[in-house]
Amino acid sequence: MKLSKVKTIFRCQECGYASPRWLGKCPDCGAWNTLVEEKEAAAPSMARQARQLTEFSSEVMPLEKVSIEKFSRLTTDISEFDRILGGGIVPGSLILLGGPPGIGKSTLMLQVSAALAGKKGSDKGQAVLYVSGEESLSQ
């Protein structure tokens, strides 16, 4: 395992502002000649942190040995949509829907939202939040 690198910073003794290089005047509080050199351990890289969090395993495993968990699913009563999602939407999951402009992504999502919110005669409608980065408010 590599030793963590030491990083040099210059910290203002008046306000605590940190700079990667020495400055005569602190840009934060305006005090002159108050930046003092300090050494601190550099933070581990994001890639290293990600590897530690994911418990990455490089072990090769045949597909038939992978255990499959059964999840409860919310059905939308839009048969093809539910079918391609394996029987409905898994609560807490994220679904990325892509396609060229004008193909009907927003229309499909509004239909799915309406189906989940209304549940066709059921009083057990789901709370739905529709977020879009492409549509204007009038759309």
Is residue 60 domain-resident? Answer: no
Q: How confident is the model at residue 98 (pLDDT cuts 50, 70, 90)?
A: confident
**pLDDT value of residue 66:** 80
- Taking residues 72-80, report their average pLDDT: 91
- Taking residues 47-58, report their average pLDDT: 64
Is residue 35 domain-resident? Answer: yes
Question: In the Cβ-directed half-sphere of 108, how many Cα atoms lie within 13 Å?
Answer: 14
Is residue 84 domain-resident? Answer: yes
Look up tokens 């898994």; give the residue. 90
The pTM (predicted TM-score) of the whole model is: 0.48
**pLDDT value of residue 71:** 85
Q: How many domains does the chain have?
A: 2
